[in-house]
Structure 1
Amino acid sequence: METTPLVHKRKKLRSGYTTGSCAAAAAKAATSMLLEGAIVNQVSLLTPKGVTLHLTIEDISMEKDSIRCAVRKDSGDDPDVTNGILVYAVVRRVQGNQITLDGGIGVGRVTLPGLWQKIGEAAINKVPRLMILQEVASVCEQKGYDGGLDVIIEIPEGIEIARRTFNPRLGIEGGISVLGTTGIVEPMSESALIDSIALEIRVKKANGQEILILTPGNYGADFLKETLHIDINKAVKCSNYVGEALDTAVEVGYKKILMVGHVGKFVKLAAGIMNTHSRQADARMEIFLANAALEGANLETLQAIEKAITTDEMIFILKQAGYLEGVLERITNRIQFYVQHRVGTDIKIGIMVFSVEYGLLGQTEGTEDLI
């Protein structure tokens, strides 16, 4: 496989290929072996990205009217839980002239609305499904075969892997999804994470959840559960991608959004920073410093904030000096200003900011109504 490597921290990162590419290549090989009666050890596959893969075929089982074989997933330098697993295709001759596709062991089943597939169907996404069917049809055409074929994709390790993914929350039970829009895994890809966040938001909307609950991560989830007594399965962890999550919420039609976040993340929103990862921007100290100055904090307090390392340290300084309540009210209102600007005025927003050390620090007007 030849791709242009990504560079991360001056290290070239190797791309990989998706479960969808593995499934398509295995199906192609199995169809060839079924129609020719000869072993196929390698196949080439042109991915939607335009990259040609040359993939090794493993664990071949040949019967008279059925072939089963696998391709091993290679995620490159991307930290993917599916790296190294075998993705199988079983191809059988059947009556008629149709080519059918379904999922077998380890491929999840859709149980909730909101996904591309219908309820009850195998979780084989649109692009991989098209790739698989096209590869099988192409082999049939080359070999002059116009009969029927039944194609089953199996991922035996998918049952266990699914327990470590968000699939059950998305309504995918019994295994993992067969994924990939380009056929190639880009290492350290942010787009895959953003897509998964957007998908979870869509599923919750499709299942009738009227209020979207967003929190960056585990601190927020713990606060929701332990302090607000809200089922964390109703919340979406948006990681650092607050802006993208809000954009999806608007796209799918949410009219009410409750945002609950640790002050170390959410304070950045008060400056309009919608990607809260530290490599994008920090500005925590500057935001506290500016708002403390607007509250009339003296020079000694401002200098102490400037030297502080953590937000909890800044909060302690402000609390001791008697400015904390005013500063947090300003910061919370600015968060609401920028969030409201992002989503528009017809969406009701509630924002809660907390600290593990100090508990609830501030919330916007109307938040209690959403809770």
Structure 2
Amino acid sequence: MTTAERAEGTGLRSGWTTGACATAATTAAYTALLTGEFPDPVTIDLPKDRHPSFALATEHLGDGAASAGVVKDAGDDPDVTHGALVRARVTHGEPGSGVTFRAGEGVGTVTKPGLPLDVGEPAINPVPRRFIREHVAAVAARHGGSGDVVVEISVENGAELARRTWNPRLGILGGLSILGTTGVVVPYSCTAWIDSIRRGIDVARAAGYEHVAGCTGSTSEQTVQRLHGLPEDALLDMGDFAGAVLKYLRRHPVPRLTVAGGIGKLAKLADGHLDLHSGRSQVSLESLAARVRAAGGAADLVAGVRAANTALDALRQCQAAGLPLGDLVAAGARETALEVLRGAPVAVDVVVIDRAGTVVGQA
């Protein structure tokens, strides 16, 4: 495959989306179907004047079908599909049918409303479909084809890889989604995670749910499920992206939101941080000490919180002194959430937990 680009300002290698890989594989396969020869490497056209070339990992021609495979290189992004073999099998379609998409092995099928694809459709997202249609049309124009084809996309081991994604929760069953809006994977941009949060909200709204939960991890998710009995597809794997949940709910409200997480993450939200990643925001012990002071905490407790090793250490000191630091953090986090929601019709409650999943604060 072409040498990946360096992401601006990071020194990290960018990579290519499954959508770009599927487009390259389709282009090579359709070219071979019309000409008998596979272009290798195969070059495609992406937005922002990018024209990457991909080496073919597999190719097969015969029986009225052509297939080609490309190994995905996600660059330096910790992408679950890095190294996956993305294949396209192309056959002639009925006259006037255009491009018909099918899910091969390892590509999921949509089973719930609320996604940008109809129920029953292969999980090949709208932008990759557009890329593939455009490249099919270009190949047809170059080599005298009709452009009426059936394109079946598959991903080796895709069903297994999909278990490590949001797909099962979103109702995309049987495999992965073919994703990408630019064709480029920016390292650590977390675009895919944020997009999954948005699709999770869309699915919950389409299902008519009136209560969703944004949870920082599996422990807080289990606690919320125990407290509220929410169905799995009402649980949003928020991770560090509290802002993504709140901003999308501001535009697409659900009547009730529970925000749940550990004392450290939610202390940062209480201080107004919307990205809770340890590399992008820090717990302010000074701020926790100020909350303890405002709540009437003794001077030695305030000093102890200011000198604490972690937010959890501060919590334990306050628990021993009978001061509800967890409730104070929950109230602050709720205040931040309401500020970001800007009056959207979303009722918010916050649940703070310790590492064992015990509720140590609520607002």
Superposed pair shares fold, TM > 0.5: yes
Partner of 1:369: none
Q: Please list the CA deviations of residues 60-111 of structure 1 after superposition, one character each: whole Å capped at 9, or x if unmatched.
A: 1111521111111111111112111211111112441433222222111000
CA distance in 2 between partners of 1:203 and 1:209 (Å): 9
- 3-state SS of 2:11 partner: strand
Partner of 1:298: 298
Partner of 1:286: 286
CA distance in 2 between partners of 1:156 and 1:30 (Å): 17
CA distance in 2 between partners of 1:76 and 1:188 (Å): 10
- 3-state SS of 1:352 partner: strand
Q: Please list the CA deviations of residues 249-270 of structure 1 after superposition, one character each: whole Å capped at 9, or x if unmatched.
A: 1222212112222212112222
Does structure 1 retain, via aligned residues, the 8 Å contact 2:212–2:230? no
Question: Percent identity of the aligned residues?
Answer: 32
Say whether 1:310 aligns with 2:310.
yes
Does structure 1 retain, via aligned residues, the 8 Å contact 2:301–2:318? yes
- 3-state SS of 2:337 partner: helix
Does structure 2 retain, via aligned residues, the 8 Å contact 1:270–1:287? no
Partner of 1:216: 216
Does structure 2 retain, via aligned residues, the 8 Å contact 1:13–1:187? yes
| C-alpha spacing 1:112/1:337, structure 2 compared with 1 (3 Å) | same
| C-alpha spacing 1:38/1:361, structure 2 compared with 1 (3 Å) | closer
Paired residues, number: 360
Aligned residue type for 1:285: L
- 3-state SS of 1:6 partner: coil
Does structure 1 retain, via aligned residues, the 8 Å contact 2:75–2:185? yes
Deviates further, 117-126 or 135-144: 135-144
Does structure 1 retain, via aligned residues, the 8 Å contact 2:111–2:120? yes
Aligned residue type for 2:329: I
CA distance in 2 between partners of 1:72 and 1:206 (Å): 35
Say whether 1:156 aligns with 2:156.
yes
Aligned residue type for 2:317: I
Aligned residue type for 2:18: T
| C-alpha spacing 1:231/1:144, structure 2 compared with 1 (3 Å) | closer
CA distance in 1 between partners of 2:91 and 2:73 (Å): 27
Partner of 2:338: 340
Q: Please list the CA deviations of residues 200-228 of structure 1 after superposition, one character each: whole Å capped at 9, or x if unmatched.
A: 12111111111121111122023224565
After TM superposition, list the pairs within 5 Å mapping 1:7-18 onto structure 2. Answer: 12-18=11-17
CA distance in 1 between partners of 2:144 and 2:204 (Å): 46
| C-alpha spacing 1:335/1:60, structure 2 compared with 1 (3 Å) | closer
- 3-state SS of 1:277 partner: coil
Aligned residue type for 1:154: S
| C-alpha spacing 1:98/1:263, structure 2 compared with 1 (3 Å) | same
After TM superposition, list the pairs within 5 Å mapping 1:67-146 onto structure 2. Answer: 67-102=66-101, 103-146=103-146
Partner of 1:41: 40
CA distance in 2 between partners of 1:217 and 1:357 (Å): 12
Deviates further, 45-54 or 21-30: 45-54
| C-alpha spacing 1:304/1:60, structure 2 compared with 1 (3 Å) | same
Partner of 2:193: 193
Q: Please list the CA deviations of residues 14-69 of structure 1 after superposition, one character each: whole Å capped at 9, or x if unmatched.
A: 11111111111111111111111224322111112421111112321111521111
CA distance in 1 between partners of 2:121 and 2:108 (Å): 9
Q: Please list the CA deviations of residues 218-252 of structure 1 after superposition, one character each: whole Å capped at 9, or x if unmatched.
A: 22023224565555553112111112211111222
Does structure 2 retain, via aligned residues, the 8 Å contact 1:95–1:147? no
Does structure 2 retain, via aligned residues, the 8 Å contact 1:213–1:259? yes
CA distance in 1 between partners of 2:42 and 2:33 (Å): 14
The structure with the larger Rg is: 1
Does structure 2 retain, via aligned residues, the 8 Å contact 1:216–1:238? yes
- 3-state SS of 1:12 partner: coil
CA distance in 2 between partners of 1:107 and 1:299 (Å): 60
| C-alpha spacing 1:281/1:87, structure 2 compared with 1 (3 Å) | closer
- 3-state SS of 2:259 partner: strand
Aligned Cα RMSD in Å?
2.2
Partner of 1:20: 19
